[in-house]
Amino acid sequence: MKRFFLLLIIALMFPFILIAQEETEKLSVGFSGYVGYNFFFDTYESATTRDELVYLYPLAEDLDANGDDLNKNFHAQMISVESRARLTASGLSAFGAKSKAVIEGDFLGTGQDYTRMFRLRHAFAQLDWDKAQLLVGQTWHPMFVTGCYPGVFSFGAGAPFHPLNRAPQIRYTFKPTSNLDFMGALLMHGDFKSVGPTDALQNSGVPDMQFQFRFHNDFIYTGFTAGYKILQPRTEVTLTNTKTDEKIGSYNFQVFAKFTTSPLIIKVEGIYGENLSHLVMIGGYGASEDPLLIGNEDYSYTNLRTLSLWSEVITNFDVLNAGIFFGYSQNMGAGEDYFSLNYARGENLHSIMRISPRVQYTSGKMTFILEHMFTSAIYGSTFDSKGKADETADPTFNHRIQLGAKYSF
């Protein structure tokens, strides 16, 4: 009888025990971000966007009737549109995992015409188990490796030498040990699309596919990324009003490493791939046959290949730090005959190079930064049949001197 009453009491109290356990989980909401300020000078007209805040490379020489370069001009800009806000929710479990959700935005807009308008940067939900993670929503493309990217002050994290892309995706990461990660992701291109028809990836019906391996400990963070995407630039041959299923696939490959010591942090990365324009890098695709010669017939496509290398060395102190960034990127041409469709970024370039030293001082939540960004570009005067430029032209140069401030909260 006593055992019966004991079991009855436990049964009656069980819902309250569950409620008590649930009450130990509390939703935690955090608000963070920063106010950013940029004041910079340029010495040469350049490819930029967002009121010149996002800098790519200097333009080609443009001589007037007197032989003076029309692009050799000195001008200044002052802007704060990169200021951002981030809302994070966490603390509750779901499906046996710790859950988190993030929404973040800034004021750069989704294009030059929308600068100073609020835009969505990140919006994702994440589940973390002991040896796995599932992420759904919009966040960094896997080729923007959050554990190894340039810490430069200039907005864009080292673009166009380093990938810059955020995209809607579903991403699964398997973590067999605390030092190993295997990640696979399916993505659709959102604000960051390949140059050319903006619906080319959607038309193909196949998401951008990426795989990444990472190894990390207190000293080294290293790994590689490999991916493949398929575009269908058009569904109809306009001149004949006939259906077309012509597609083009392109691959990307990336290796990266970061070494952390008490006095220094060293980062290196190499990227080789086809049509990297959706990553705000040079490259793209065109036709493999001359559209003007084949008349009303459909034509196939071919990719421009891009090689990009960058490295960075920065000090690792609490208050005063210095760093230097070096980047190099080259148009490697196509694998077959190339005819321009204007579906590429910098297809008339041979190569671009950047050296960017900086110094920054932090006190509390406030950081002041001084950076000199020297960028050169070599444009081709002649091109071979595969769209690869020669290296005989004189380079153009731009010096950008930047003074910036950030107040983080």
pLDDT of residue 238: 76
Q: Provide the 10 A C-beta neighbour count for residue 188.
A: 15
Residue 92 bridge partners (DSSP): none
Is 201 in contact with 208 (CB distance < 8 Å)? yes
Identify the domain containing residue 121 by its residue range.
30-408
Mean pLDDT for the stretch of residues 192-198: 95
Pairing relation of β-strands 301-315 and 320-334? antiparallel
pLDDT category at 329 given cuts 50, 70, 90 is very high
CA distances in angstroms from 83 to 90, 107, 118, listed in the order given: 24, 7, 10
If residue 37 lies in a helix (H) or strand (E), which one and from where to where? strand 28-42
Q: Is residue 15 part of a domain?
A: no
Q: Is residue 340 part of a domain?
A: yes
Full-model pTM: 0.91
Say if residue 61's pLDDT is above 50. yes
Say if residue 16's pLDDT is above 50. no
Q: Is residue 169 part of a domain?
A: yes
Q: Is residue 130 part of a domain?
A: yes
pLDDT of residue 391: 82
- Weakest mean pLDDT among 12-26, 257-271, 282-296, 324-338: 12-26
CA 18 – CA 15 distance, rounded (Å)? 5
Mean pLDDT for the stretch of residues 58-62: 96
pLDDT of residue 293: 82
pLDDT category at 242 given cuts 50, 70, 90 is confident
**Start-to-end C-alpha separation, the chain:** 62
Q: Is residue 6 part of a domain?
A: no
Tens digits of per-residue pLDDT, 339-394? Answer: 999 999 999 999 999 999 999 999 999 999 999 999 999 999 889 999 998 888 89
**Domains contained in the chain, number:** 1
Q: Provide the 10 A C-beta neighbour count for residue 289.
A: 16
Collapsing DSSP to helix, strand or coil, 113 comes out as helix
CA 322 – CA 314 distance, rounded (Å)? 6
Q: Is residue 97 part of a domain?
A: yes
pLDDT of residue 295: 63
Is 400 in contact with 384 (CB distance < 8 Å)? no
pLDDT of residue 14: 47
277 compared with 24, residue with greater pLDDT: 277
pLDDT category at 77 given cuts 50, 70, 90 is very high
Cite the beta strand spans of 288-347 per DSSP E: 301-315, 320-334, 339-345
What six digits make up the tokens of 126? 């994440």
pLDDT of residue 10: 45
Q: Is residue 140 part of a domain?
A: yes
CA torsion, points 131, 179, 126, 205, in degrees to nearest 10?
-100
pLDDT category at 20 given cuts 50, 70, 90 is very low
Say if residue 275's pLDDT is above 90. yes
Q: What is the DSSP string of 210-237?
A: EEEEEEE-SSEEEEEEEEEEEE---SEE
pLDDT of residue 18: 43
CA 53 – CA 41 distance, rounded (Å)? 11
Residue 281's nearest CA partner among 364, 166, 162 is 162
Residue 160, domain CATH: 2.40.160.10
Q: Is residue 22 part of a domain?
A: no
Mean pLDDT for the stretch of residues 280-299: 88
Is 339 in contact with 288 (CB distance < 8 Å)? yes
